[in-house]
Amino acid sequence: EYIDDAHLLGSDFLSISLGTWLTPDSPEVSENRLQHLVSTLDRAAELNMKVDITLGHNHVPDWMVKKYPKIDDVGGHFVAYDIDHPYARTYWKNLLKQVIPRIADHPAALTYDLTNEASWHNCSIYGFRKFRRWLKNRYGTLNALNRSWGMSLQTFKDIDSRPHGTSNPARWFDWCRFNQHRVMEWFRFLDGQIKKYDPDALCHVKIGNENTFRGSLTRRGGRRSTSRHNNGIDREALMR
């Protein structure tokens, strides 16, 4: 009903979710729920409205947690699961394979929002494995890493946490760059899976830019002492 209300208010654009709500009981998409999604697009088309289809990540179905108990250990902003967990990509490959062919050429479908107000400040054991590999590729040897960080790590396996501030600038920089790298890889994955079935898809990411840079005002009126470049969002890469 809200579509008709929005239309009466003069709106010609709306957002609807494509996400885990479509798989309430198993990895297989519920046909009834998928038909509801298609019917919503149909009604939007009848009203000459366009739709931004937002990938919904803010709920983890019970069946998924039971089968993969660690998948919700670490999430992001409006993302309730671990994007580095091996099953995360398997799940989205399967979901998008079932859904996108049904809506790819729909006249109301305008764009795909890969994530709403995205940010990631931490990662799981799976993410830190990626971090260690990234550091090995960047520095080559543990001695080179220790020289850069001014530390005396005995092994790359000692790296199992993130810095919480800029007291060690080199470590902070590497964490920020890695975090941006892994998040961009996640965005590229989602973008690629959508375009497998909708080659002309227009995909974007909705991000928040308030409080992003050092010195910008916080919600409480203070000024940030550090930037938010540790939240995984590489704005330059997103523009390429």
Q: Whole-prediction pTM value?
A: 0.93
Residue from 101, 164, 174 nearest 136 by CA: 174
**pLDDT per position in the chain (240 positions), as tens?**
689 999 999 999 999 999 999 999 999 999 999 999 999 999 999 999 999 999 999 999 999 999 999 999 999 999 999 999 999 999 999 999 999 999 999 999 999 999 999 899 999 999 999 999 999 999 999 999 999 999 999 999 999 999 988 899 999 999 999 999 999 999 999 999 999 999 999 999 998 776 566 666 666 667 766 667 889 999 889 988
